[in-house]
Structure 1
Amino acid sequence: MPEPVLVSVAAAVAGKAVVGLYHLIKAKFADDPDATAVLEAAEGAAQDSPEVRELAETLEAKQAADPEFGEQVRAEWERAAVGQHAETGGVTNQISGHVGGIVVQARDIEGGITF
């Protein structure tokens, strides 16, 4: 069973919602007729369809065989997710590494914050 993130990626690619990600995956699959057929079968399919599930499984196999491709897929997915959220007026915060203190994630604070 593919990771949930790969199912989300597959659904976005099937709907061509993230163009850069679609092109990255299409290019990777170009030398593999079976993978290309899976991608084409998933185009326009619903997120919970067997075609999207098969695309997610194919993505999982491709990233297992080529970890660099897996990193590229995840980086493109992250960029798309952050960009789409910010474009709709949402707040996008990213914290990485070790956090040893207090972290506040907020939007539109008026006045001070006291801890």
Structure 2
Amino acid sequence: MPEPMLVTIAASLASRAVAGLYELVRAKFADDPVAAAALTAAEGAPADSPQVKELSETLERAVAADPGFGAELRAHHAVTQTGRVTNQISGTVHGNVVQAGDIQGGIRFK
């Protein structure tokens, strides 16, 4: 069974919720027709579908074979709330960052 984060990533890929993440995986799978087919089959599928399950297992195999790819996946992983907010932060960030869905009240940085 793939780790929960890979299942979440697979669901994000299926909905194309995080474009940069999708492009990373598409490029990684470009030379692997079986993996590319799993990515294509999962497009638009519900998070609990067999296609997303197969994609998460494909991701698990890719991460096991290439730990560097796993590190990239984790770096691009974003918190997604369906129908609400999608945040993605990558690269070097200078300053303050807040990722949130609902905030009651204000936020103050010092």
What is the TM-score when the length of structure 2 is the normalising length? 0.75
Percent of residue pairs identical: 56
Shift of 1:68: 0.2
Residue correspondence of structure 1 range 1-115 to structure 2 within 5 A: 1-77=1-77, 80-81=78-79, 83=87, 86=99, 88-90=101-103, 108=106
Amino acid of the structure 2 residue aligned with 1:7: V
Unpaired runs of at least 5, structure 2: 80-85, 89-97
Q: Deviations over 1:24-48 (max 9, x none)?
A: 0000000000100000000000000
What is the aligned-residue RMSD (CA, Å)?
Answer: 2.5
| SS of match in other structure, 1:86 | coil
Quick check: which one's helix share is greater? 1
Q: Deviations over 1:88-107 (max 9, x none)?
A: 455xxxxxxxxxxxxxxxx7
Q: Deviations over 1:40-71 (max 9, x none)?
A: 00000000000000000000000000000000
- CA–CA distance in 1 between the matches of 2:87 and 2:33? 32
Unpaired runs of at least 5, structure 1: 91-106, 110-115
- CA–CA distance in 1 between the matches of 2:11 and 2:35? 15
- CA–CA distance in 2 between the matches of 1:34 and 1:12? 19
Task: Give the number of the structure whose alpha-carbon radius of gyration is greater.
Answer: 1
Report the number of matched residues: 93
